[in-house]
């Protein structure tokens, strides 16, 4: 029996493949789109049974080529660019393709765990898995919202587990291929290493400079939540995946800079000191993001806790520091 991971060469997907390997699972079908081939590096230290292009995989599924041989589909593949304007591409990738996988999993009694997103909540102040809290601000968020709505409508049809995981702001290893869509921790790390300072947005949404707040969650925790549901196939539903505590971009910057300073044997600095030394700088808020930007997110994780997931989440001070230490180990000179 095989485990399918879509988006397997991507950020969360490759971390999932690695985590399965660490459990001794190598019967993994890695599914992705490698037209932009640099992502292969995320799988170079992983063991997989086979690799399939995402379109080839969907076609073989529908032809019956995998009937009776799949244990679970861990669907992490998506267009995750929140500024992508090609609606046909986003909807085909995030909605229509996901629907094809859902149809198959219902028909062949295969467990289906998929990546949703906190972008569904838009500019709201309540981040709970309920329709009244959902109002996406961008096309990416809408595509994820639409698929979650489909899952809700078809929930009683399920023949096996169906779980949607609404990731909040994920950071961590194996995201280097994401470019501008990589986490702020990744960008802050490279800015500080390259220029000796980091750049944050000036105030927006009623928040001061760098004080916009997000629920920053380590990819390590996202993987553990996936594995929890994989281990509990009797549990289904939509669940937020965040720490449950919003933290500021300033806090991420401080954690990143101080992790780098520690790596050089230097003492940590406070936010005030980093501002005074112009190590933390602020740039004007981009006009193209106005009205499309979440200045605040904080996961309500009560549903996740009620499902039995009781492990603690890494706060920024722990998770970002750990991440930067790993980046430093791989960084040249």
CA distance 283 to 122: 23
For 224-254, what is each residue's pLDDT tens digit?
999 999 999 999 999 999 999 999 999 999 9
Task: Pick the range with the lowest mean pLDDT from 66-80, 107-121, 177-191, 290-304.
Answer: 290-304
Provide the pLDDT for residue 22. Answer: 98
Q: Could you confirm whether 121 is annotated as catalytic?
A: no
Output the pLDDT for position 4.
98
Residue of 178, 207, 235, 262 marked active site: 178
178 is catalytic: yes
pLDDT at 332: 72
With 70 as the cut, is the pLDDT of residue 201 above it? yes
- What is the C-alpha to C-alpha distance for residues 328 and 118, in angstroms, rounded to an integer? 29
Each residue's pLDDT tens digit, 34-68: 988 899 999 999 999 999 999 999 999 999 999 99
What average pLDDT does the chain have?
96
Residue 79: the pLDDT is 87
**Secondary structure of the chain in the HEC alphabet?**
CEEEEECCCCHHHHHHHHHHHHCCCCCEEEEECCCCHHHHHHHCCCCCCEEEEHHHHHHHHHCCCCCCCEEEEEECCCCCCCCCCCHHHHHHHHHHHHHHHHHHHHHHCCEEEEEEEHHHHCCCCCCCCCHHHCCCCCHHHHHHHHHHHHHHHCHHHCCCCEEEEEECEEECCCCHHHHHHCCHHHHHHHHHHHHCCEEEECCECCECCCCCEECEEEHHHHHHHHHHHHHCCCCCEEEEECCCCCEEHHHHHHHHHHHHHHHCCCCCCCHHHHHHCCCEEEECCCHHHCCCCCCECCCCCHHHHHCCCCCCCCCHHHHHHHHHHHHHHHCCC
For residues 170 and 217, give the distance between their C-alpha atoms in angstroms, rounded to a whole number.
5
On the question of pLDDT at 291 being above 80, the answer is no
Decide if pLDDT at 333 tops 70. Answer: no
% pLDDT > 70, the chain: 100
Predicted pLDDT at 37? 85
pLDDT band at 82 (very low <50, low <70, confident <90, very high): confident
Catalytic residue among 97, 114, 121, 140: 140
């Amino acid at each position: 029996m095989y485990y399918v991971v879509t988006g397997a060469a991507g950020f969360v997907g490759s971390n999932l493949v690695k985590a399965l390997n660490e459990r001794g699972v190598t019967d993994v079908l890695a599914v992705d789109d490698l037209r932009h081939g640099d992502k292969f590096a995320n799988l170079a230290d992983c063991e997989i049974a086979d690799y399939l292009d995402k379109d080839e995989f969907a076609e073989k599924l529908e032809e019956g080529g995998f009937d009776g041989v799949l244990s679970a589909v861990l669907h992490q593949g998506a267009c995750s660019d929140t500024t992508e304007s090609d609606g046909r591409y986003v909807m085909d990738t995030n909605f229509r393709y996901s629907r094809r996988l859902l149809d198959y999993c219902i028909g062949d009694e295969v467990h289906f765990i998929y990546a949703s997103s906190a972008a569904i909540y838009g500019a709201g102040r309540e981040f709970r898995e309920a329709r009244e809290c959902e109002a996406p601000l961008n096309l990416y968020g809408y595509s994820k919202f639409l698929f979650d709505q489909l899952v809700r409508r078809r929930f009683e049809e399920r023949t096996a587990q169906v779980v949607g995981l609404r990731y909040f702001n994920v950071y961590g290893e194996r995201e280097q291929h994401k470019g501008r869509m990589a986490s702020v921790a990744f960008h802050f790390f490279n800015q500080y290493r390259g220029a000796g300072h980091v750049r944050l947005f000036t105030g927006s949404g009623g928040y001061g400079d760098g004080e916009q707040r997000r629920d920053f969650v380590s990819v390590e925790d996202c993987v553990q939540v996936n594995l929890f549901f994989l281990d509990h196939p009797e549990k289904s539903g939509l669940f937020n995946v965040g720490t449950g505590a919003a933290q500021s971009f300033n806090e991420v910057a401080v954690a990143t800079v101080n992790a780098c300073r520690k790596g050089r044997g230097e003492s940590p600095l406070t936010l005030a000191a980093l501002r005074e030394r112009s190590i933390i700088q602020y740039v004007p808020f981009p006009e193209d993001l106005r009205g499309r930007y979440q200045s605040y997110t904080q996961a309500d994780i009560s549903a996740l806790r009620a499902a039995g997931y009781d492990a603690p989440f890494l706060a920024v001070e722990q998770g970002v520091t750990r991440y930067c230490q790993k980046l430093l180990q791989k960084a040249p000179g």
